[in-house]
């Protein structure tokens, strides 16, 4: 018999809703059970058996993040099955920048009212993100917090752990003049800059559902809610065949904040603006908000979700591998000697 508290329910927390949510999410979680995962949803801790095959000096790499105010779009669109992908992506895309392969993921959902079907929808997206990145969803927490969150809103965050052999940890020590910077296209705004996006479009009063010609027939809500692309599997395959010198996940802070994190002092990234395949949503944001080019590149990914630095002689092979793994990768710049960390010209 499941526990039940009438007093707790009167205070706004329905324990039985939590039980139902767990039952509904189990089918989604099963999709993420890779390898020798021995965790069972509902336990006090998530268990994961580590396969050490081919790893002599294991280093664990962790990442944690949330979805941010992009969730406001999910509330307005009443669409909750994709923000979980964003949550996973923001963690595992960071992990891959160290050369590590994500192993497992845990989520935290806090809500004003536990609606089991909505929670299951959220978890279905988290599971999809885990499937895309090849990591297992081994646990999580759903907290019903009436009076703290509005009853129809929630927050979402996650945590992931990956592993890499110590000798294969990526650092920027070998990055040098003449190296090539490869762009991996984004799927849209991803999960950054939404405080500005919401202001630009006055999002609570905007038409989010009518198809727009400038967005290729997509509605504004559809274009903005497009889930963050996960780059794990293409990058893992690239690591196996090419010496990758550095990787940057282009998130909040755009080009100017993220690319320098993979470049050693005394060098800079020379980016050819004409090479960047900017998505229509960014043109619309800039035009609607009258935002300067510098601010756009300093806030958004501008159509580039990840940048990869390789030696010039490895560039063609790297692009070939990435394309074979579904990424329309292309060269967007090179490493130069410079006191400026990023030069866009």
Residue 54 has pLDDT above 60, yes or no: yes
**Residues in Cβ contact with 161 at an 8 Å cutoff, skipping those fewer than 6 apart:** 60, 61, 62, 95, 102, 103, 104
pLDDT by residue (tens digit) across 222-258? 999 999 999 999 999 999 999 999 999 999 999 999 9
Mean pLDDT computed over 280-295: 97
Q: What is the pLDDT of residue 19?
A: 55
Residue 285 has pLDDT above 90, yes or no: yes
Considering the chain, what is the average pLDDT of its residues? 91
Q: What is the pLDDT of residue 25?
A: 58
CA distance 185 to 306: 7
Q: What is the pLDDT of residue 5?
A: 57
Residue 140 has pLDDT above 60, yes or no: yes
- Give 309: exposed, middle or buried? Use CB within 10 Å, 0-12, 13-18, 19+: buried
> Tokens for 66?
């949330």
Q: What is the pLDDT of residue 49?
A: 82
pTM for the predicted model, two decimal places: 0.91
Q: What is the pLDDT of residue 188?
A: 97
Mean pLDDT computed over 63-88: 97
Q: Which of 150, 143, 185, 159 is nearest to 61 (CA)?
A: 159
CA distance 105 to 131: 11
């Amino acid at each position: 018999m499941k526990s039940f508290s009438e007093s707790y329910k009167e205070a706004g927390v329905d324990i039985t809703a939590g039980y139902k949510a767990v039952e509904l999410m189990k089918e989604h979680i099963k999709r993420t059970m890779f390898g020798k995962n021995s965790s069972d949803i509902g336990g006090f801790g998530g268990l994961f058996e580590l396969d050490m095959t081919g790893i002599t000096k294991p280093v664990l790499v962790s990442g944690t993040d949330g979805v941010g105010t992009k969730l406001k779009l999910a509330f307005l669109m009443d669409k909750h099955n994709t923000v979980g992908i964003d949550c996973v992506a923001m963690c595992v895309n960071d992990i891959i920048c160290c050369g590590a392969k994500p192993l497992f993921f845990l989520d935290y959902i806090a809500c004003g009212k536990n609606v089991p079907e909505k929670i299951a929808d959220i978890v279905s997206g988290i599971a999809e993100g885990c499937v895309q990145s090849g990591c297992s969803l081994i646990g999580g927490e759903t907290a019903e917090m009436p009076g703290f969150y509005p009853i129809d809103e929630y927050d979402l965050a996650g945590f992931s752990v990956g592993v890499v052999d110590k000798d294969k940890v990526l650092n920027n020590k070998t990055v040098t003049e003449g190296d090539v910077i490869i762009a991996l296209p984004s799927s849209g705004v991803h999960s950054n800059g939404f405080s500005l996006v919401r202001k630009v479009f006055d999002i609570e009063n905007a038409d989010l559902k009518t198809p727009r010609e400038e967005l290729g027939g997509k509605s504004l809500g559809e274009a903005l809610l497009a889930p963050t692309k996960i780059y794990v599997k293409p990058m893992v395959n690239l690591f196996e065949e090419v010496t990758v010198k550095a990787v940057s996940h282009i998130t909040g802070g755009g080009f100017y904040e993220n690319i320098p994190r993979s470049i050693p002092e005394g060098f800079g990234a020379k980016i050819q603006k004409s090479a960047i395949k900017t998505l229509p949503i960014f043109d619309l944001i800039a035009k609607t908000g009258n935002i300067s080019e510098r601010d756009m590149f300093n806030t958004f990914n501008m159509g580039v979700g990840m940048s990869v630095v390789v030696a010039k002689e490895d560039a063609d092979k790297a692009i070939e591998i990435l394309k074979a793994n579904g990424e329309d990768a292309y060269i967007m710049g090179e490493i130069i000697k410079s006191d400026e960390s990023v030069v866009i010209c």
